[in-house]
Structure 1
Amino acid sequence: MKLIATNKKAYTDYTIVETYEAGIVLVGTEVKSLREHGASFKDSFCRIKDGEIFLLNLHIPPYRFGNIYNHDPERPRKLLLHRKEIDRLWGKVRQEGYTIIPTKIYFNDRGIVKVEIAVARGKKAYDKREEIKKREIEKKIREHLKYR
């Protein structure tokens, strides 16, 4: 598995409930650009429309050697999931406070681009502070145990 990009902000701003691996529909220049540059997850999210799931606001930069037929960097991209998975996601999203966000984009063993999406619930500001405190305490404990 060759990791292309991770959504680090997703882990700080959201509590991850479930994750799924999805295929993604891309054009040729997008794949070449992913191999070369990577992608940006800034403000990207997934939306279910007419029984299909789409990834919105994922920025894949234009391919450097592309011509006038180069891709649009922020076009909506269809994700490939089984019907049961889409129905399960739809059921979760209908509950208040849940959303679908991309967490990773990578090439699998066979060189196919995959996206890991997650059902997540947004964290409140006090939840984020609690998590930071826990991390700092664990770090101090590890340092203290290291010197014993």
Structure 2
Amino acid sequence: MAVGKDGRRIVAENRKARHAYFIEDDLEAGIMLQGSEVKALRQGGANIAESYASVEGGELWLINAYIPPFKQAKTWGHEERRRRKLLVNARELAKLHQGVSREGMTIVPLELYFNPKGVAKLKIGVAKGKKMADKRETEKARDWARDKARLLRARG
């Protein structure tokens, strides 16, 4: 597990999200987990790359996130890809619903982590899909920034 900013222990990261989407807004959400899921997250191996969030019936749900089974739980374990409820306040939920109702917007998970208090949190973003030309432009800008840093380092 990597340690991020502010003492967060990052469990899973969705690196593809920044490549495939323009992230317009992000926020932190709590996540309702079973005991075996929390223990499995602490061991690592979770994957949020293929998952997404959806507003359904006035609630926010995380769909298709993978949390590996906890071997010691045996009989009282959990489903690996079950729907998990995300906890946000009403104002944030309304803002997310408004963002998704616009054309081409979706809610993507960016990071799953434990905050310094040891509580599991999910960083989600309201995003708009990139087209192929946008992806190439982003890659070109990133390559130029890398080459520029290399040139400045060589001269200085």
Scaled by the length of structure 1, what TM-score is found? Answer: 0.97
RMSD in angstroms over aligned alpha carbons?
0.8
> Distance in 2 between the 1:42 and 1:140 partners?
29
Residue identity over aligned pairs, in percent, reads 41
Give the match for residue 144 of structure 2.
Answer: 137
> Distance in 2 between the 1:82 and 1:93 partners?
17
Q: Indicate yes or no: 2:90 matched with 1:104.
A: no
Q: Indicate yes or no: 2:106 matched with 1:128.
A: no
Scaled by the length of structure 2, what TM-score is found? Answer: 0.92
> Distance in 2 between the 1:2 and 1:42 partners?
18
Q: CA deviation at 1:137?
A: 1.2
CA contact (8 A) 1:92 1:119 kept: yes
Give the match for residue 50 of structure 2.
Answer: 43
Matched to 2:65, the amino acid is: L
Aligned residues: 148
Structure 1 runs (4+) deviating above 6 angstroms are none
Matched to 1:90, the amino acid is: H
Residue among 10, 25, 34 paired with 1:27: 34
Q: Indicate yes or no: 2:64 matched with 1:61.
A: no
SS in 2 for 1:73: coil
Residue among 3, 9, 23 paired with 1:2: 9
Unpaired runs of 5+ in structure 2? 1-7
Give the match for residue 94 of structure 1.
Answer: 101
> Distance in 2 between the 1:38 and 1:111 partners?
18
Unpaired runs of 5+ in structure 1? none
